[in-house]
Amino acid sequence: MTRSPETTQNLGARLRASWLDLALGALGAGLPVFLWWIGSHTTTFVPPIGEVIRAIPDFVTGEDIWPDVLVTIERVAGSLAIALILGFAAAYVMHRGGLWGRVVDRYVGLMLGVPSTIAALLALYVFKRSEVGVYFVVSIITFPFVALTLLQGLRSADRRLDEMGDVYRLSTPQRLRHVAVPHLVPYTFAAVRNEYAHAWKVVVLAELFAVNSGMGARFARAFDRFRIVDAMLWLIIFMIILLGTEYLLLLPSERRVLRWRGSGMEGNR
Amino acid sequence: MTHSGEYIRVRDLDVSYDGITPAVSALSMDVAEGEFAAVLGPSGCGKSTLLHAISGVVQPQSGTIEIAGLPVGAGRGDDSVPIGYVFQEHRLLPWRTVAQNIAIVLRAAGVADDDVDPRIDHYLEMLHISKFRNTWPLRLSGGQRQRVSIARALAIQPAVVLMDEPFSTLDEVTARVMRQQLADLWQRSNQTIVFVTHSIREALFLAGRIFILTQGPARLFDTIEVSVPRPRRYEDPRLTELEAQIVEHVMDEWGYGANSGEEPRE
């Protein structure tokens, strides 16, 4: 079988794009390591890479780190779930319009303009450093972003599919299950992926300032006691969990759930 | 074929979306059981609105529509006749496979679970798309999607199939193949079909009777019996001759006559 010049060109372009992706990925991962290496040779507060790597086995097996890691994950997942529920409710009210729609719209707009750090500190002060305060802070800071993304989803709903539902007499549960919910799934994924990293930052920030458990609190404790290697290891764990969840959980799940997307006839051959 | 009976009975129909601007005005027409009727009119005249009203999706301001003696209206009850609808665009759920798209409307129509799969297989086979049973609609060509849409409409075994310019978005070759298949399908099933189009040749090729509408708001301008025997060829000179006569006939009414003020197009 001979390839047409166009197919060869496409293949070449795809290969070039793959190499470029690989090179950019290597640069993205290599640059921080390089900066770390320079920092460890020019300052006293950045530990050498080798020292941190040697400390990993003891750190992950010897110390009681996992309960704190789990507490932080629990806080992130819990508050993100609350933010999703609040965000959907807000998006629905804004989509319906009317007085309440306008009120919620203004409130969401206001919250989007307030810096996360200020909102977090104020909320923690009001809630007196309680566990509820952490959940409240994260949910209240992330839900306006979730609401905006889901609002886009509601606004872009295909009216023509509703007409199809009318003609074929789909019941309300059938419409929800087969028309409305699947339409909102891509927007929900976008909201979760956008706000996941945001939620992590706010949770760790809240733990730094307000509570005695969780990764943020352990990081602060290590830093206060000048245990710089431990502080660095907490940072690395933070990044591994964040990137691992993104690339090993969220992205594959999104690809699987949205596998109906795509074009071309390759699926039929 | 002589058309008698009033299987679909439309009387003095007035439809307006905003309650002020009429889209359909004082329109009356009858379609017989098993008839293939075409509704012909210029773009934007209100043909689709007429189909929406017949399907019960749009509530008319005044007038009546009956199918098999039962009144049609928005919020149709379970006792009204089932209607299949093929839209201008396929309107398939992109997140459901071909088989799932059909299964959803079958379940909504109250078809028993045991009958769903055999019925899907039967209609996919009839439209030559069995191999796409588990394919996502976005991976199909325009013609294949429209076949699925037709299979979905027929699978509920409706009393009436309404088709709203179903081939207008397809390329000409695909559209011709689809028209031929539809004509063959109708000859085998004798299903009552109301087919909306703005193509005179398409209406002549497919229909036994053509209802010609005026410019919007749509009123019935004329009714033409197509007596060319079936099976028909798209290039049949008799259709060409009829097409020329209809063009001549509707020229004034559709706004292209000597007194209409429209410049002839190059």
The model's confidence at residue B84, banded by pLDDT at 50, 70 and 90, is: very high
Same domain, A100 and A214: yes
Considering only CB atoms, which chain A residues are within 8 Å of B141? 265
Considering only CB atoms, which chain B residues are within 8 Å of A167? 55-57, 83, 85
B138: nearest CB among A170, A183, A261: A261
Interface mutation vs chain B, best among A260, A261, A265, most B CBs within 10 Å: A260
Residues 109-128 on A with a CB inside 8 Å of B are: none
Same domain, A29 and A78: no
Q: Residue A126: which CATH number?
A: 1.10.3720.10
A99: Cβ contacts below 8 Å, ≥ 6 apart: none
What does the pLDDT read at residue B92? Answer: 96
CB contact under 8 A, B93 and A179: yes
Question: And the tokens for A242?
Answer: 């964040």
| CB contact burial B14-46 (16+ within 10 A = b; e otherwise) | bbbeeeeebbbbebebbbbbbbbbbbbbbeebb
Helix count and strand count (H, E) for chain B? 7, 10
The region, left, alpha or beta by phi > 0 then psi within -120 to 50, assigned to residue A129 is: left
Considering only CB atoms, which chain A residues are within 8 Å of B81? none
Cα B226 from Cα B208, distance rounded (Å): 5
Considering only CB atoms, which chain A residues are within 8 Å of B148? none
Question: What H or E segment, with its residue span, contains residue B243?
Answer: helix B237-250
Residue A51 lies in a domain: no
Same domain, A100 and A29: no
Residue A5 lies in a domain: no
A41 versus B266: the higher-pLDDT residue is A41
Cα A158 from Cα A201, distance rounded (Å): 35
Place of tokens 């691992």: A244
Return the number of CB contacts < 8 Å for A and B: 72
The model's confidence at residue B131, banded by pLDDT at 50, 70 and 90, is: very high
- CA distances (Å), origin A36, targets A42, A43, A52, A126, B173: 10, 10, 11, 38, 64
Q: What is the dihedral of CA A100, A104, A109, A115, to 10 degrees?
A: 150
Same domain, A38 and A117: no
Interface mutation vs chain A, best among B90, B104, B162, most A CBs within 10 Å: B104
The beta-carbon contacts of A118-122 under 8 Å, at least 24 apart in sequence, are: A120/A202, A120/A205, A120/A206, A120/A209, A121/A209
**Full domain range(s) for residue A38:** 10-43
What does the pLDDT read at residue B1? Answer: 46
How near does any CA of chain A get to the CA of B254, in Å?
Answer: 28
Is B59 an interface residue toward A (CB < 8 Å)? no
Contact A156, A48 (CB under 8 A): no
CB contact under 8 A, A174 and B57: no
Is A255 an interface residue toward B (CB < 8 Å)? no
Same domain, A104 and A178: yes
Is B17 an interface residue toward A (CB < 8 Å)? no
What percent of chain B clears pLDDT 90, i.e. is strictly above it?
A: 68
Cα B197 from Cα B188, distance rounded (Å): 22
Distance of CA B88 to the CA centre of its chain: 9
Same domain, A186 and A132: yes
Q: Which of A223-227, B88-92, B202-206 has the highest mean pLDDT?
A: B202-206
Is A172 an interface residue toward B (CB < 8 Å)? no
CB contact under 8 A, B139 and A174: no
**Mean pLDDT (whole number) for B86-112:** 94
What percent of chain B clears pLDDT 70, i.e. is strictly above it?
A: 91
Cα B38 from Cα B253, distance rounded (Å): 18
Residue A94 lies in a domain: yes
Is A160 an interface residue toward B (CB < 8 Å)? yes
DSSP track, A134-194? HHHHHHHHHHHHHHHHHHHHHHT--HHHHHHHHHTT--HHHHIIIIIHHHHHHHHHHHHHH
B211 versus B190: the higher-pLDDT residue is B211
Residue A131 lies in a domain: yes
Residue A1 lies in a domain: no
Residue A53 lies in a domain: no
Considering only CB atoms, which chain B residues are within 8 Å of A262? 136, 138-139
What does the pLDDT read at residue B244? Answer: 94
B76: Cβ contacts below 8 Å, ≥ 6 apart: A169, B56
Same domain, A22 and A107: no
Contact A187, A202 (CB under 8 A): no
Contact B64, B6 (CB under 8 A): no
Considering only CB atoms, which chain A residues are within 8 Å of B131? 268
Same domain, A37 and A69: no
B73 versus A136: the higher-pLDDT residue is A136
How near does any CA of chain B get to the CA of A162, in Å?
Answer: 10
Question: And the tokens for B13?
Answer: 């129909």
Cα A186 from Cα A149, distance rounded (Å): 10
What does the pLDDT read at residue A4? Answer: 55
Considering only CB atoms, which chain B residues are within 8 Å of A182? 93, 95-96
What does the pLDDT read at residue B147? Answer: 92
Residue A3 lies in a domain: no
Name the domain count of chain A: 2
3-state helix, strand and coil shares in percent for chain A, rounded to the nearest 5: 85, 0, 15
Same domain, A33 and A91: no
Contact A216, A204 (CB under 8 A): yes
Considering only CB atoms, which chain B residues are within 8 Å of A255? none
**For each of chain A's 269 residues, which pLDDT tens digit applies?**
445 555 667 777 777 877 888 888 888 878 888 888 888 888 877 888 888 888 888 888 866 888 999 999 999 999 999 999 999 999 999 998 889 999 999 999 988 888 877 877 777 777 777 888 888 888 988 999 999 999 999 999 999 999 999 899 899 999 999 999 999 999 999 999 889 988 998 888 888 887 888 898 899 888 888 888 888 899 889 989 988 998 899 999 999 999 998 744 433 33
The SS3 call for residue A247 is helix
Same domain, A252 and A213: yes
Cα A36 from Cα A13, distance rounded (Å): 35
Place of tokens 């004509």: B183
Q: What is the mean pLDDT of chain B?
A: 89
Is B157 an interface residue toward A (CB < 8 Å)? no
What does the pLDDT read at residue A264? Answer: 41
The model's confidence at residue B246, banded by pLDDT at 50, 70 and 90, is: very high
Cis previous bond, B231, omega within 30: yes
**Mean pLDDT (whole number) for B111-123:** 95
The dihedrals phi and psi of B24, each to the nearest 5 degrees, come to: -130, 135
Same domain, A22 and A113: no
The model's confidence at residue B254, banded by pLDDT at 50, 70 and 90, is: confident
Residue A155 lies in a domain: yes
Query: Nearest residue of B to residue A264 by CA position?
Result: B139
Same domain, A35 and A119: no
